Structure 1
Amino acid sequence: MLDSFDKGWFVLQTYSGYENKVKENLLQRAQTYNMLENILRVEIPTQTVNVEKNGQSKEIEENRFPGYVLVEMVMTDEAWFVVRNTPNVTGFVGSHGNRSKPTPLLEEEIRAILLSMGQTVDIVETNIKAGDVVQIIDGAFMGQEGRVIEIENNKVKIMISMFGSETQAELGLYQIAEIN
C-alpha cells in the first residue's frame, strides 16, 4: 500500500567519486524493482571548468556537489526503500534519521540547478506580460505590487516602489500573480 504521494526532487548522499555508479545502479534498480513510475529522473549536477595542465588549457566537466546525487521521485515507502538501499548511497539529505522521510528541495532550488546544467524545466504558463502590474505572493516582497519589466526563463524582473524610490527585483514566475 502506498503511504505517500510526495513527488519532488531529493538529494542523496553518496560516497564521493561514486556519483555516476550510484546513478547507474539507481536507474537499474528502478527498472528491476518495477519503480519506473516512482523513480523518475536521476541527475548529477556538473559544471564546465577550464583546467590548465602541462601548459594546455582545456574544458572538463566537474561535479558541482561531490558526494551528492539528485533524484526526482514519488516518495512512497517502497521507492524510499529501493533508493535508500542502493549500493554507495549513505542516506537522504533532509532526513532526520529513524526511518523518517526526507524533505524535498524547494522548487526554486531545483529550477536553478537544472537551468545551470542546461536542463529543461517545466514552463510556467502565464498571461502576464511586460508592463502588467502584479501581486507578489511569495518571498521577501510578499504582499507588495510591482510592474513587470521583463520575463525570461520563468524569471520575471519587477519594479517595486520601496521607501519612495523604484527598486528592481528578480523573482520566479511562481512568486507572482495577476491582479484582477
Structure 2
Amino acid sequence: MDLEETTVENEDNQTDLASNEDSEDLNIDQGLWYIIHCYSGLEERVRKNLEQRIDTMDVRHKVYQVVVPTEEVVEIKDGRRTPKQERLLPGYVMVRMIIDDESWFVVRNTPGVTGFISADEEGEKRVRPLPLTDAEVSGIFRRMEASQPRAKIGFVKGQNVKITDGPFQEFIGVVEEVLTEKGKVRVLVSFFGRETPVELDFLQAERLDA
C-alpha cells in the first residue's frame, strides 16, 4: 500500500513538473513586444528596476521578458579598430508582455520609465500601448544576433584624409566614396598632376578634419 501511494505521489510530482515545463515553454511565445521610453543612458538601470518589480509584484506570468537591444560594432577611427557594444534604440527598452491594468501599472510605474510607445485609441480619450509588428521584432533581433560586427566608420564624402599605409603612405587625399560593405574607402590622390582614385582599407587612412 505504501509503495502504491509513493508511486502515485511520484507520478503526480512528475505531472506537476511537466506542467510547469510546458508552461515555461509556452511563455516563450506568449505576449507581444512593446517599447517603453526612458532617459537615454539609463536603459540598463530601467531593465534591472523592472525585472525586480516583476518579481516583487508577482507578475512574471504576464510580463515575460525585458531587453535592452544592443549590437556589436567595430568603430574605425584614425587607424584603430575598437570593438564595443552599442544600443540599437537609445532611450528605449523592449518588453514582452500581456497588457492588462495590472501589468501596465507595474511597467509604467517602474522608476525611470516615462511611458509606452502608444497610439490613440479610436473613439476614446486615452492612449493604448502599441505593440511591435513581427517584422520589426525580427529585424531588431537579427541585428542583435549578427555573426559579424557592424563597422562604424568616421569617414564621409569630401573629407580630407592622410594615407597611413601602402604605396601612397603620407599622401593627402579627399574621400570620394565610402565602401562600407567592402570595408574600404575610395580616396582621390593628386599624383603626377592628376587626381587618381585609390581604394584603401579603413585602417590605411586617418581623418585630417573632424
TM-score range relative to shorter protein: 0.5 to 0.7
Aligned position for 2:114:
90
Identity %: 39
Distance in structure 1 (CA, Å) of the matches to 2:108 and 2:126? 10
Secondary structure in structure 2 of the residue aligned to 1:101: strand
Instruction: Specify which of 13, 17, 21 is matched with residue 45 of structure 2.
Output: 21
Q: RMSD value over aligned CA atoms?
A: 2.2
Secondary structure in structure 2 of the residue aligned to 1:114: helix
Aligned position for 2:134:
107
Aligned position for 1:51:
75
Distance in structure 2 (CA, Å) of the matches to 1:104 and 1:75? 10
CA spacing shift, 1:18–1:50, aligned 2, 3 Å = same
Distance in structure 1 (CA, Å) of the matches to 2:75 and 2:132? 31
Aligned position for 2:104:
80
| Cα shift at 1:115 | 2.1
Secondary structure in structure 1 of the residue aligned to 2:118: coil
What TM-score, normalized to structure 2?
Answer: 0.50
Instruction: Specify which of 22, 31, 38 is matched with residue 62 of structure 2.
Output: 38
Q: Is the 8 A contact 2:71 2:145 kept in 1?
A: no
Distance in structure 2 (CA, Å) of the matches to 1:57 and 1:114? 24
What TM-score, normalized to structure 1?
Answer: 0.58
Q: Deviations over 1:123-157 (max 9, x none)?
A: xxxxxxxxxxxxxxxxxxxxxxxxxxxxxxxxxxx
| Cα shift at 1:96 | 3.8
The structure whose Rg is larger is 2
Distance in structure 2 (CA, Å) of the matches to 1:27 and 1:104? 20
Q: Is the 8 A contact 2:118 2:127 kept in 1?
A: no
Q: Which 5+ residue runs of structure 1 have no aligned equivalent? A: 1-5, 120-180
Larger helix percent: 2
CA spacing shift, 1:100–1:21, aligned 2, 3 Å = same
| Cα shift at 1:7 | 2.4
Corresponding pairs, count: 114
